[in-house]
Amino acid sequence: MGKCCKCNSRLLCMCLLPCMMTGHLLVYILVSIFVAITYTPPKISVHYVAPGTSANSSVLASHPLHPFWNLRLEDSALWNQMQHALDRRHNPILTGNTSGILRNPKRKRVSKIKDGCFPDCMAQCSFPHVNGFDGFPDQMKAFVRSMHCREYPSLISQPGLCRKNNSSLDLDSPMLVMAIKSQVGNFENRQAIRETWGRSGLVKGESNKKGGLVRTVFLLGRQDSSTGPHPDLKNLLQLENQRFGDILQWDFRDTFFNLTLKDLLFWQWFQKYCPKATFVFKGDDDVFVRTGALLDYLNKQWDEHKLWRAYTNETEMNLFVGDVINNAMPNREPSTKYYIPGGFYKGAYPAYAGGGGVVYSGSLALRLKRVSERVHLFPIDDVYLGMCLHRLGLSPSHHPGFLTFDLPEGDRGKPCAYKSVLLVHRRTPNEMLTLWRWLQNLPDHC
Ligand SMILES: *[C@@H]1O[C@H](CO)[C@@H](O)[C@H](O)[C@H]1NC(C)=O
Ligand SMILES: *[C@@H]1O[C@H](CO)[C@@H](O)[C@H](O)[C@H]1NC(C)=O
Ligand SMILES: *[C@@H]1O[C@H](CO)[C@@H](O)[C@H](O)[C@H]1NC(C)=O
Ligand SMILES: *[C@@H]1O[C@H](CO)[C@@H](O)[C@H](O)[C@H]1NC(C)=O
Ligand SMILES: *[C@@H]1O[C@H](CO)[C@@H](O)[C@H](O)[C@H]1NC(C)=O
Ligand SMILES: *[C@@H]1O[C@H](CO)[C@@H](O)[C@H](O)[C@H]1NC(C)=O
């Protein structure tokens, strides 16, 4: 009797346990579905849109008044919320056609988006309310206050840089435009670059002699007076520009979190004055580039693209190379300059090419410009480029020759170690000149 009871209860256990577990799971699922359905999302209060987006609030389609599924935006961060609103404005399913759903008079529009912040955007727009704004560091506050502004007057421009000569309006098509982010005070860096890797003109390749036409410009903002008074270098800059004609300057504070503006404004300039250039290098003024080797690489890519194009009619070239960083998370350490508070951005970064420098095709530059109108400014420029690429459905390619984090300590003084390098970070002006001399006559044994 006792034995049978034991075996019965074991059988019972084996039968009942899975049933009970499935039952619990079912209850759990039902409850969570119920919670999700009854949940209504908070109104997103975004007071402005980036200028440049099609500013037509009447085009905004009525989105479902009740959530289709969980849209818990209240616990996401400012940038994510704003981007979400912008995405919804441009969602072709929701907005594409005003003739359909919008006609329905019963539907009222829910989202309030104030348009037309530009041109007086600083004065007119209230910046959005953010939880924890008071706890943001100063540079983050300054960024949030001005992040809806992306048009700044040009102070120095180079409309003729890509023209064949003075008298004609014909555009030349440089092989490579080098856009180097610099600051007003960094004259020495710019001069070292002009004398070495950033020389404008016809540049030979290293192995095959094909090379190409290179044009260099330096991207500058206005000296940042918030860090203290600066000596007035305006006249010096004017002189420098008269002599070299390679400065692009805009009227915004040249701070770390404003670097993204340089990309945007450069793309505008590029589209207007140099749209036929085949490739763009974008980098900092403290890197060293082996321009000849880079041209070899680009010529090879270009030849492959032409071959590919002949077979597929694919006209757009999607090259974007650099030192790619995958699955990076925002820096949450308040003492660093890269600090991004959780109240501003949540989630991982898309794949992006790190600092120092990247190369992309001219056709991609034009598309990046277009798509950037639909991506809210982000304080870290490399990440912003990654976001724009992501929107285009592309991802950056990694090239081992881009050494954003430099060579191993022991190799830095050996010329041969630079044989396979395309870009190395970071070098002082003196080091640039030394390196350049080394590389002109690399020993054969390398
Ligand atoms: C904005 O909307 C109006 C009327 O709804 C329309 O006539 C106009 O073409 C739209 N503008 C743009 C840029 O979509
Ligand atoms: C909008 O819809 C109408 C008919 O519903 C169609 O004729 C028109 O082509 C559509 N416009 C766009 C831009 O899709
Ligand atoms: C280009 O034009 C400017 C004035 O329009 C003139 O000062 C300059 O000398 C010209 N340069 C050349 C190379 O012709
Ligand atoms: C400048 O352009 C004109 C007309 O396009 C041409 O005749 C002239 O040879 C060009 N000069 C130079 C130096 O390329
Ligand atoms: C960027 O530049 C604008 C215009 O000069 C300025 O108002 C803003 O504070 C700057 N942003 C940052 C983060 O420094
Ligand atoms: C490429 O385009 C040309 C002209 O538009 C056409 O004749 C040819 O068939 C196309 N080739 C392919 C592979 O689509």
Residue 184 class from Cβ within 10 Å (0-12 exposed, 13-18 middle, 19+ buried)? buried
Does residue 441's CB lie within 6 angstroms of at least one atom of ligand 2? no
Which amino acid, residue 269? W
10 φψ region: left (φ > 0), alpha (ψ -120 to 50), beta (else): alpha
Same domain? For 198 and 285 the reply is yes
Residue 115 and residue 26: Cα distance in Å, rounded? 47
**pLDDT at site 59:** 47
Q: Do 121 and 163 fall into the same domain?
A: no
Say if 53 falls within a structural domain: no
- The bound ligand whose nearest atom lies closest to the alpha carbon of 312 is 6
Helix, strand, coil shares of the chain, percent, nearest 5, are: 40, 15, 45
Whether 96 is in the pocket of ligand 2, judged by its Cβ within 6 Å, is: yes
**CA geometry: angle 352, 358, 359, nearest 5 deg:** 120
Instruction: Answer yes or no: is 311 within a domain.
Output: yes
Tell me if 260 CB under 6 Å of ligand 5: no
Burial readout 335-357 (b: 16 or more C-beta within 10 A, e: otherwise): eeeebbbebbbeeebbbbbbbbb
Nearest of 329, 321, 389, 392 to residue 357 by alpha carbon: 321
Residues 188 and 249 grouped into a single domain: yes
Among 93, 126, 146, give the residue marking a domain's end. 146
pLDDT for res 170: 65
Same domain, 303 and 354: yes
Query: Which residues constitute the domain of residue 222?
Result: 154-440
Q: Are residues 223 and 80 in the same domain?
A: no
Structural domain ending residue among the three candidates 146, 177, 205:
146
Q: Are residues 107 and 230 in the same domain?
A: no
Domain assignment of residue 10, yes or no: no
Spacing, Cα 242 to ligand 3 middle (Å): 12
Taking only the tens of pLDDT, the chain with its 446 residues reads 445 556 677 777 788 888 899 999 999 999 988 887 777 665 555 444 444 344 444 444 445 444 444 455 656 788 998 898 888 888 777 765 554 444 444 433 333 333 334 444 554 455 666 777 888 999 999 999 999 899 999 999 999 899 876 655 666 789 999 999 999 999 999 999 999 999 999 999 988 778 899 999 999 999 988 888 889 999 999 999 999 999 999 999 999 999 999 999 999 999 999 999 999 999 999 999 999 999 999 999 999 999 999 888 888 999 999 999 999 999 999 999 999 999 999 999 999 998 689 999 999 999 999 999 999 999 999 999 999 999 999 999 999 999 988 888 888 888 888 988 999 998 999 999 999 999 988 887 87
Helix (H, G, I), strand (E, B), or coil: what is residue 398? strand
Between the CA of 155 and the centroid of ligand 5 the distance, in Å, is 16
d(CA 289, CA 197): 6
263 in a structural domain: yes
Structure token pair of residue 222: 């206005």
Per-residue model confidence (pLDDT) at position 322: 96
Q: What is the pLDDT of residue 411?
A: 87
Domain boundary among 124, 146, 168: 146
Q: Residue 270: beta bridge partners?
A: none
Does residue 168 fall inside a structural domain?
yes
Give the number of other CB atoms < 10 A from CB of residue 164. Answer: 12
The Cα–Cα gap between 385 and 37 comes to 37
CA of 167 to the centre of ligand 3 (A): 8
Half-sphere exposure of 230 (CA within 13 A, CB side): 15
Domain check: are 250 and 133 in the same one? no
Structure tokens at 32: 């969570």
**166 shares a domain with 92:** no
CA of 167 to the centre of ligand 6 (A): 38
Number of domains present in the structure of the chain: 2
pLDDT of residue 7: 61
166: Cβ below 6 Å to ligand 4? no
225 lines ligand 4 (CB under 6 A): no
Q: Are 207 and 83 found together in one domain?
A: no
312 Cβ closer than 6 Å to some ligand 4 atom: no
pLDDT at position 1 is 47
Length of the chain: 446
Residue 99 CA to ligand 2 center (angstroms) comes to 7
Spell out the residues 6+ positions from residue 221 whose beta carbon is closer than 8 angstroms to its own.
Answer: 183, 249, 250, 251, 252, 253, 254, 255, 258, 261, 262
Q: Atom 12 of ligand 1 has which residue's CA nearest to it?
A: 56
Residue 43 forms part of a structural domain = no
CA of 59 to the centre of ligand 2 (A): 13
- From 394, 379, 382, select the one nearest 77 (Cα to Cα): 379
* Shortest-distance ligand to the CA of residue 167: 4
Please tell me the predicted confidence (pLDDT) of residue 177: 97
- Regarding the beta carbon of 173 and ligand 5, being less than 6 Å apart is answered no
- For residue 96, what pLDDT is reported? 57
Q: Kindly state whether residues 227 and 359 are assigned to the same domain.
A: yes
Asked if residue 47 belongs to a domain, the reply is no
**DSSP 8-state class, residue 164:** S
Which residues line ligand 1 at a C-beta cut-off of 6 Å? 54, 56, 58-59, 98
Contacts with 423 (C-beta within 8 Å, 6 or more apart), sequence order: 283, 287, 288, 289, 290, 294, 356, 357, 401, 402, 403, 404
Picking from 71, 78, 73, 72, the residue whose alpha carbon sits closest to that of residue 131 is 78
Give the Cα separation of 255 and 258 in Å (integer): 5
Do 167 and 243 share a domain, yes or no? yes
User: Which one of the ligands is nearest to 242 CA?
Assistant: 3
**What's the CATH code of the domain at 429?**
3.90.550
Q: What is the DSSP letter of 283?
A: E
Query: Residue 58 CA: which ligand 1 atom is closest?
Result: 5
Rounded distance from Cα 312 to ligand 6 centre (Å): 8
- Are 113 and 194 found together in one domain? no
Residue closest via CA to ligand 4's atom 12 equals 165
Predicted confidence at residue 74, as pLDDT, reads 54
Residues 6+ apart with CB under 8 A from 129: 45
Q: Please report whether residue 6 resides in a domain.
A: no
What residue owns the CA closest to ligand 1's atom 14?
Answer: 56
Query: Side by side, which strands form the sheet with 287-289?
Result: 287-289, 423-425, 402-403
**For residue 379, which atom of ligand 5 is closest to its CA?**
13
Ligand nearest the Cα atom of residue 163: 4
Which ligand has the minimum distance to the alpha carbon of residue 164? 4
